[in-house]
Structure 1
């Protein structure tokens, strides 16, 4: 059975679960096929009001600063699309595969998959069949493997596509670690102790 691994990251306003709270979405797969979009319909005033967003997310968006503290999203930029266009393109991205199964991965990804599903108002009946309903959390995978130090992200942290690509790198690292641990344990998967679990939760 062929499996396509897709890696997801979203930038978003935590206080706004509607599509106006989606800032950007990045997807990449194990073949390096990318998708990236900035939401033209985001609540820009709300984004501007959060200093962390201004410092960490806005620098990666196609914006112009009109005056101190005020930013204008460049609607003509090739990455900027209305939410209905993003919805259609995301659906096409997931549908464009010959694989039998798509596995979705994210890091601390509960919010990310909610934002993905919010493109269809979290209505699974309206959501295309190709859109994954569940995901593998890379954080959970890391905890199960003893919480190793993960590869550092070189640049682009909080740029949705750069983060999605880094998720792919983290998954590759964890798969290599799992293989090494299985060899050490005679082919059996590693088992975490209770102390290791508590430490990983800190």
Structure 2
């Protein structure tokens, strides 16, 4: 059996570093996780990121704002809790651009080898799947694009259209 998570990360990148701004995760059963980092440097954001990501973040008083260590710990608990005691269940991570999002997620643990063994070493790529399937019509996004949680929900909706076996 496979337990799938669909996620999106918003981040600032400068060609050398990917700095997490926010992460949204939705599982197949509708459980959701959302966090905004208190540790990114907004001054490093390009104008597009300021306008389309930073300006849309919740108020700093929102409980979604937390330090990177707390995001890491809370995210880990969110991801592994449904799998405890179910040794035959395999976890999959899915994102629209899996490589970028996986780096942003994995960096919560520092160097890539520090990623906990319980977490997949890669994120499956929904956009690549979409291309491979001949670009079928997908649902339009509801809500605010470039909001990590809204985009994670949209990734689940995309999966529901593209998945090979609707009973899987």
Q: TM-score higher than 0.5 here?
A: yes
Which residue number in structure 1 is paired with residue 74 of structure 2? 89
Unaligned 5+ runs, structure 1: 64-73, 181-202
- The match for 2:20 among 19, 22, 27 is 22
Structure 1 contact 6–27 (Cα < 8 Å) conserved: yes
> Deviation string for 1:67-126 (max 9, x for gaps)?
xxxxxxx2x4211001111111111111111351111100022110000100112332x3
Could you tell me which residue of structure 1 aligns to residue 101 of structure 2? 112
Would the aligned equivalents of 1:114 and 1:122 in 2 still touch at CA under 8 Å? no
CA distance in structure 1 between the aligned counterparts of 2:26 and 2:111, rounded to whole angstroms:
22
2 CA distance for matches of 1:83 and 1:30? 25
Residues 35, 17 of structure 1: alpha-carbon distance in 2 compared, 3 angstrom cutoff: farther
Tell me which of the two structures has the higher relative contact order, counting C-alpha pairs closer than 8 angstroms and 6 or more residues apart. 2
Counterpart of 1:164 (choices 152, 155, 163) is 152
Q: SS at 1:164's partner residue?
A: helix
Other-structure match for 2:56: 60
- CA gap of 1:23–1:144, structure 2 versus 1, over 3 A, is same
Residue of structure 2 in register with 1:151 after alignment: 139
Counterpart contact for 2:142–2:150, Cα < 8 Å = no
- Work out which of the two has the higher radius of gyration on C-alpha atoms and give 1 or 2: 1
Query: What is the CA–CA distance in structure 2 between the aligned matches of 1:9 and 1:52, rounded to whole Å?
Result: 18
CA 1:112–1:51: 2 relative to 1, 3 Å? same
Say whether residues 1:138 and 2:126 are aligned partners.
yes
Q: CA deviation at 1:18?
A: 4.6
State the number of aligned residues: 162
* Counterpart contact for 2:24–2:152, Cα < 8 Å: yes
Poorly superposed stretches of 4+, deviation over 6 Å: none
Per the normalisation by structure 1, the TM-score is: 0.74
Note the C-alpha offset of 1:54. Answer: 2.2
Cα distance in structure 2, aligned partners of 1:103 and 1:134: 8
Distance 2:73 2:15 in 1: 22
Query: Which of 174, 177, 191 matches 2:162?
Result: 174
Q: CA deviation at 1:165?
A: 0.7
- SS of the residue aligned with 1:96? helix
Deviation per CA, 1:30-64: give whole Å up to 9, x if none.
001111000000102223xx22112211232135x
Alignment-derived partner of residue 184 in structure 1: none
